[in-house]
Chain A
Amino acid sequence: MTALLDIRDLRLGFRTLAGQIDVLHGIDLAIRAGEQVALVGESGSGKSVTARIILGLLQETRSARVSGRVGFDGRDVMMMSPKERAALRGIEMSMIFQDPTSSLNPTFTIERQFAEVMRRPDRKLTRAACRERAARMLDEVSIPDTGRVLDAYPFQLSGGMNQRVMIAMALANNPKLLLADEPGTALDVSVQAQTLDLMRDLVTRHGTSVLFISHNMGVVREFADRIYVIYRGRIVEEGPTPAVFADPGHAYTRALLKAVPRITGRGLPDVPEVSDDFFDPMVRHGGTS
């Protein structure tokens, strides 16, 4: 079975005043149709930039140098023109950004932002139809009081409400691939569980593939079929979720799992920040890709 997303040898560097900063050192990552894949790892290791490259956003940043192959649905995003990439975004693939208030436009109401998204594939959608569909989407992410929220500006909503709005918007056009960058961080645990269940329902029903970026290992365990672990711009481990949790093969993955705080309360874990074996070669669990 061919992959919907097939990334090969992806490299990224930034040109800065202080010289070149290399961020991604040759990443391979694939997602099959309907598969939910998690990308976990160190803060600053390159998760968000990977998502931005898949969306074709970083290719348009002047200071960024990107190379490699980003296969999506049989085409290479790297070879597309900016216009072709723009035509994919929000329709074939969409993203839930890490920072909700910065990706929602502060000067427009939520209703207006929904309308903009929903009119991209269908310019003729009426205002009433947009509002009705937006209300239904908000309802599906368990936002109460959908009328108030549609008329609100982002600053009038709590952090978590904005995040649910973004999830609803990202799914509004039924994309083939959803890139979810820490979609639950501003949500309380009950809403988070609910929202992720809902997201999982929606994506299973529509066969949407998901690249799920998260620091919450408990959530990853519940949500993902397969996991990639990234450390300093290199994938260090890959495998089915149960295998990685039961038998983490790479030193970095082991340290990461050990550092997860537990409600059983054993205090703050005492684990090394960096260790030589974090740079060991990648570990692959069998039976995949």
Chain B
Amino acid sequence: MTDTVLSVRDLRVEFHTRRGVLKAIDGVSFDIAKGEVLGVVGESGAGKSVTGSAVIGLIDPPGRIAGGEILLSGQRIDNLPPEQMRKVRGKRIGMIFQDPLTSLNPLYRISEQLIETITTHTDLSPSQARTRAIELLAEVGIPAPDRRIDSYPHEFSGGMRQRVVIALALCAEPELIIADEPTTALDVSVQAQIITLLKRLGREHGTAIMLVTHDMGVIAETADRVAVMYAGRVAEIGPVHDVVRNPLHPYAEGLMGAIPTLAGEEARLVQIPGSMPRLTRIPPGCAFNPRCGYRFGRCTVDRPDPLPWRGHKVACHLYDPASGPHFLGEGRTLAAAEKHEEATA
């Protein structure tokens, strides 16, 4: 694959706290190709944001990358010296955070913040940078950008501010954009607009996008592939329509069950019993085992590796032929296995 923009290999991130070592990310691998949108889902604390921070090299202390590698267009970036990594940020990787209200410095005009970013990463003069900034604002859909550019952040609404944030992330035409819950803080009415905008920009510029969100609806509409994270690991990763319609991993199945279906049907909100373990006390074997209805012998002993399974990768012993009688053979899904269980019980 020559068009792989981001490649994360067996990433591990640890926080050394007073109460011990917290393994926030423990062996995460995924790729994002040019122009592709990878959706990242999972409940709060699963490690989605830390993964994004690791990629852009901004893990808060006391966290650090404890293993694995991160490659951007084939070049390793996880071990770059700080000054070189800074030049990657904003230039080759753009980041969009959750809350547009607090992402912009309240004391500077957005023109100043845009020009600052552009001149940091390009050779443009301030006046050329200003022209470029106006183009960017037009591109993200700010009306009358040549006038609005000299406004302060507080003079924009939330949705407009998120557009400005996106323009800032796009300043240097990055290869990769990491959007960490970019619509969570916004009005429902503008969420769709922002997502559509992101998707369009990604397509037009061939940018790879890592889209972190709680919103399975957004994932279903926007992402090409989706990674389901649980307790710092990737439980399942695969093409979005397969994962959403036909999740394989028991946790993914529970998560997809939690999407209210659109067509006005009875919302089937399946709650997964229990909660994610504390990251300092992840159970041995499969991290999901205390909550899993399919748990069997080896689940509490061996840690499941992500194995390829019909275009997905699934970290679950049910999909490992070595699991013997529990192996879900070709053609059987979890739901089928459940019916089988019921029938035989």
Binding partners A and B: no
